[in-house]
A and B are shown apart, each in its own frame.
Chain A
């Protein structure tokens, strides 16, 4: 089984880090995983994205046109990736920054005001982990415990004091997602 996740938003929203934490968790769980960042000129425009593929077998392409899931943290990312998620897949939207509701009915949509939720947790930068928690609540490719373990194991030294609040953000996102998702309508 292979699951593809695209995480997209503005630079500074922790897009690449959110993908790396999923990749670390997948590696520690003994799975094959690839993490592929945008590194081109689009980054100069302030947008960032990464593709994480988690699989039981050797991974071919590290990029896919139609991911199983997308976390979109701003409006340009919602516009770009909403049409591309596989039917039946999961679209996680940062409602604080999206500026509109998702329109697809054939994917499961989870929309959370992640910025405000992060601020309520005391740090605006936790929006990424809230949305990762929300994703995992609806697409159990990894358990929350596996991601928590990855945070504890792989958070770089200068950020280690942020581990516990990142874990709280994950849990908060997962909890909120169970109350805030719109299931996919059968095609």
Chain B
């Protein structure tokens, strides 16, 4: 479909301290209705948005980290994590939740949505965008 554009969302903030992470997630979910080609980048402190075992009850916030697992249902399955950002923060990919989708073209097999990338690959992903959204 010639009307399809590539939307790249760049997420660079830790969750809860500011509203950026939640706002981004809401825009992604609402935007999913337009069935475009969507890619999400998590880099810098944005990688903290996907840590496992979040429990913000003690700070009086909703645990929206559970919602990332629904992205596959919304056909959002191109999620890019910056390796350098993990390294700089003493994190590994295993500290992040696994995100999967069911591949319609492959008998609904469950596949990982997450791709670990370096800065060169990130620059290519940014270059692939028709629309860039920053949070």
Partners in one complex: no
Q: Which residue numbers of A lie inside 8 Å of B, CB to CB?
A: none
